[in-house]
Structure 1
């Protein structure tokens, strides 16, 4: 497939490389030109503008930080479907695949706007983090029309071990919020356990070994305990990403009347961490909040 990819960052760049290895032709755009240019050696074709993609590609994949960035990339000035052009059609583009994590309500709005151009919108947020993107083992939860999903699932399979359609537009984002409710609460609990172990004089770095095979064992435990007890690990994301996702979760829960007391508590911890200046710290920065509060 001829693909355009907007947002080749920590997650997006390895996804593009998997697409290229699978034989797809990928044209890459980034606000930071160097990020796109870095993929040239792998066979990516760098484009100067988002609008340029409409002349070449059948599907535009987006992996950016938030809903505002998604809107800007697709509908903004010079965007893929921006209306600032005399020929404001979609060109060859048939599908938008959004791998960003944004609010379900925003997704439904964007899907309706894309439909006016005859373009199908598939919300396809991912789980598995940078290691999953690099290994090609991401879990992708999707929303959108069945025909679009069936056309795109084999393409997404280049970097995903599992691609699951959960319903119409917005269903993928809702599922990702469920994922983030579990992930954020678990990482917060791991930080508290590490903090308790340290206060009691136990070597917290050995928790994964001690708990292996028990109910507390998990990928998250094995991933985050080393990040909370050792230095020198490459970042896998920013703390503010967790905050953004939990804020979206809180909004979605409020809209439907879902009761989420644990998520509400995690939301306050995340806000505290950002207020402490940890917004750009690694996702493991829950431990810094715990240590600060316990100091």
Structure 2
């Protein structure tokens, strides 16, 4: 079933920083969107723009052709899909679930299989990268896992939300790819913070570093987008949370250990974010990890 404009009815579960940006994008594109969030006050970020609230994930599913999720972790995915008032409880409900969350590959496969058995709905795990600004403008990167058939169903909508969409394999492959993404991102944040501290301590014009290194081997989106944010200490409002990146880095570490690997740079990245979060910065911007280095430098100065 579709609405009068022949657009599929979208249900969206999880209105965090990224979920808000994606829902706003869908509304801009003219999709009808029904939404639910565990903390209902977050719905006020999308209801004024045309989203319709629901009382439960099951209510979202019952009113939707496609359900999308962007929630905190695997446990939240399980709760929203298989809980007493979850998507599976809606009966036939949607034909497809697209999960933009960062979650566990094996857990994803299990939840997708349980939903398929209960309702027949297909599954695309589609974790994202690029942050809320790119989500808002439809330019985020999406790494997908699922069957070719389900991917064809999802592609026409996801392409309106993403500048880069790639099917990496069957269900769970998107989440595996996101683990690799977070290994690069998480350790990259730490490297950018250390490069900034080194540049400032050396007395060069630290603000010119991205311009100076553009086009060389050190160039990257981290250098051009993240480093200036760190250098300017522009961390409000947060575009991502330190607790979330720490969770993701722990998942990278666990995944590596499960494959029999001991990846020391990743382990150091985990420890750096553990140290930062331990200072009370769970809800600070992930890029504000540079504050950990400032804290340690100040502590050394007092010693």
TM-score by length of 2: 0.90
For residues 155-170 of structure 1, the aligned pairs below 5 Å read 155-170=157-172
Post-superposition offset of 1:232: 4.5
Query: What aligned pairs does 1:119-138 form with structure 2 within 5 A after superposition?
Result: 119-138=121-140
Secondary structure of the residue that 1:12 maps to in structure 2?
helix
What secondary structure does 1:269 align onto? helix
Structure 2 counterpart of 1:191, from 190, 193, 206: 193
Tell me what 1:223 maps to.
225
Structure 1: stretches of 5+ with no match in the other structure: 82-87
State how far apart, in whole Å, the 2-side matches of 1:145 and 1:197 are.
47
Deviation at 1:89, TM superposition (A): 5.3
Matched, 1:77 2:84: yes
1:273 maps to which residue?
276
Alignment match of 1:214 (pick from 213, 216, 221): 216
1:102-127 deviation per Cα after TM superposition (whole angstroms, max 9, x unaligned): 12121112112112111222110001
Output aligned runs, 1:102-121, within 5 Å: 102-117=103-118, 118-121=120-123
- The CA deviation string for residues 125-149 of structure 1, in whole angstroms up to 9 with x for no partner, is 0010112112210110011111111
Aligned to 2:179: 177
| 1:72 positional shift | 1.5
Aligned to 1:67, which of 63, 70, 74? 74
Matches within 5 A, 1:28-107: 28-81=35-88, 88=89, 90-107=91-108
Q: Which 10-residue stretch deviates more, 165-174 or 48-57?
A: 48-57
**Contact 2:59 2:90 survives alignment (8 Å):** no
Per residue, is there more helix in 1 or in 2?
2
RMSD: 1.7
**Does structure 1 retain, via aligned residues, the 8 Å contact 2:243–2:283?**
yes
Q: Please name the residue that 1:151 is paired with.
A: 153
8 Å contact kept, 2:62–2:90? no
Query: Which consecutive unaligned segments of at least 5 residues does structure 2 have?
Result: 1-7, 299-303
Distance across 2 between alignment mates of 1:235 and 1:66: 19
- Does the 8 A contact of 1:90 with 1:119 survive in 2? no
2:144–2:173: 8 Å Cα contact kept in structure 1? yes
Q: Report the 3-state secondary structure (helix = DSSP H, G, I; strand = E; otherwise coil) of the residue aligned with 2:48.
A: helix
SS of structure 2 residue aligned to 1:167:
coil
Report the equivalent of 2:248.
Answer: 245
**8 A contact 2:233–2:288 mirrored in 1:** no
**What is the rounded CA distance, in whole Å, between the counterparts of 2:144 and 2:180 in structure 1?**
13
Distance 1:34 1:89 in 2: 24
Checking the alignment, whether the CA contact within 8 Å between 1:103 and 1:252 is kept in structure 2 is: no
Give the corresponding residue for 1:85: none
Task: Supply the distance in 2 between the matched residues of 1:131 and 1:38 (Cα, whole angstroms).
Answer: 15
By how many angstroms is 1:247 displaced?
Answer: 0.7
